[in-house]
Chain A
Amino acid sequence: MSNVRLVDENGIRTDGRRPDELRPIRLEVGVLSNADGSAYIEQGKNKIIAAVYGPREVHPRHLALPDRALLRCRYHMAPFSVQERKSPAPTRREVELSKVIREALEPAIFLERFPRTSIDLFIEVLQADGGTRAAGVTVASLALADAGIPMRDLVVACAAGKADGYIILDLNDIEDKEGEADVPVAYMPSLNYVSLLQMDGQLTPEEFEQAFNLALEGCRKIYELQKQSLKAKYLAIKEAVEEAE
């Protein structure tokens, strides 16, 4: 254990949050004009952009699947996204996160409706401060919805964990590194379906259950923000038109 205090005697965390509080989140949909769908998220100090292309012809051709679409996902951190410059080449960690995010999103998309095509998803982390895989899933599902790809539900992700003996929600970078455990969860709230569940560190079964439920609660809160942000673009136009009349 390190000597860093992550939660003080009043139960307040290093960034001033209570244990069950999310970081401030800002979501924006349709930020890129060249992609078929795109979205941007700021969650605390995290800044992530996601772009979707497709469904489109698969290149190289031999990767095409005869019975469903191929979902390809690239999670990438910009060299300037962390304190020490990160090499732009994909690291072992990024390759793994790409796979994990892809598998969290796959059950939400009606891939079987578009055989022999590919849906290409790019998640670019501009600034990282812990919990980027969860924020990546959240923003990627918005980009998919923006592209008009049929989905069973929006996927939303959020982490919970443990630091200084407290079960905490939405870990930031220092809590992730110095804390005792981290449980990222991806969730489809309408269908009550969990599509990603990982755990790093140690928790008792009771603590795990508590952390898991806390993460789901966080997911439901972010889900409402996701829905608002998708509607915002169109509601703004509608209001502008009605005002002009």
Chain B
Amino acid sequence: MSTFYENREIVTPGDLLAEGYFNAGPNTYKIGSRIYACKLGLVEYKGRLVSVVALNTFYIPSVGDLVIGKIVEMDIHGWAVDINSPYLATLRAQDALNRPYKPQKDDLSEILDIGDLIQAKVIAYDRTRDPLLTIKEPGLGKITHGQIVKVSPAKIPRIIGRKGSMINMLKKETRCNITVGQNGLIHIYGRNPEDERIAVLAIKKIELEAHTSGLTDRIAEMIRKERSGGR
């Protein structure tokens, strides 16, 4: 039973993290009783669980995730949506309408057209088939105003913070509506462009400094400074 790094130390793929009765958590793998890192990230030892918080990843869909995507293809059954993932998602017409879908009557391009941005929820996914989305829930559907910021999906947990501490602070300080897609796209909608600009700036700073400590306070300070400097 031994571990070879400090908690939150940076490790690279192939680093031997622990040996003995440990369980391999996210971004690690096990050969016999040895646990190795398989991504660049910060190592975490929690009891018997050894995991790595990756510094860069891509988005792998998971059922229940809120995502922001862009319509890229359309046919009579529904749409194909780019959700910033290795797999294109499908949005079926019956998951977009509140009434039965009649292909002879309904024109899908009137509901969503190619290039439209949507907020959606993943309702089904396994690696053998492409993910399936729905927009039939309150708050989901076409995005009509505001702006989108793209960050690495690895930084999403940091932007939300522990129990939402970071995102709540952001919303309060910037006075913007912020919706975080698990796939690394963030929708910001504020009362004026200045609020939105500050929110974008703050999110970019969080992305860059995600692996440092005391970040929430630093971001709050930055926003206040930005706001007073802008006037």
Contact = CB atoms under 8 A, between A and B. Distances in A.
The interface residues of chain A, by DSSP majority, are classed as mixed
B86 A153 contact: no
A237 B212 contact: yes
Most buried by A among B40, B211, B212: B40
Interface string A140-170: 0000011110111110000000000000000
Contacts of B152: 148
Contacts, number: 87
Interface string B46-86: 00000000111110000000000000000000000000001
Contact of B10 (A115, A146, A151, A235): A235
Contacts of A37: 56
Contact of A56 (B12, B16, B86, B218): B86
Contact of A237 (B15, B36, B86, B209): B209
A117 B88 CA distance: 11
A234 B16 CA distance: 20
A188 to B, nearest CB: 7
Nearest to B13: A151
A238 B13 contact: no
B158 interface: no
Most buried by A among B14, B54, B56, B209: B14
Interface in B1-19: 10, 12-16
Interface in B194-214: 208-209, 211-212, 214
B127 interface: yes
A57 interface: yes
Nearest to A156: B14
Interface in B112-131: 127-128
A154 B87 contact: no
B36 to A, nearest CB: 6
A237 B13 CA distance: 20
Nearest to B57: A148
Interface in A178-204: 188-191
Contact of A148 (B54, B212, B214): B54
A115 B15 contact: no
A interface bracket (residues with beta carbon within 8 Å of B): 35 or more
Interface string A224-245: 0011001100110110011001
A188 B12 CA distance: 13
Given A54-B86, A145-B39, A153-B36, A234 B211 contact: yes
Interface in B162-194: none
Contacts of A148: 39-40, 54-58, 152, 154
B38 interface: yes
Contacts of B14: 151-154, 188-191
Most buried by A among B54, B57, B87: B87
22 contacts: A36-B58, A57-B86, A110-B29, A114-B86, A115-B128, A116-B87, A145-B39, A146-B40, A146-B56, A148-B54, A150-B27, A153-B36, A154-B12, A188-B14, A189-B14, A190-B14, A190-B16, A230-B40, A231-B40, A237-B212, A241-B212, A242-B212
Given A145-B40, A151-B38, A230-B40, 10 more contacts: A54-B86, A55-B86, A115-B127, A147-B58, A152-B13, A152-B38, A190-B36, A231-B12, A241-B212, A242-B212
The 5 closest A-B pairs by CB, nearest first: A153-B14, A148-B56, A190-B14, A55-B86, A151-B13
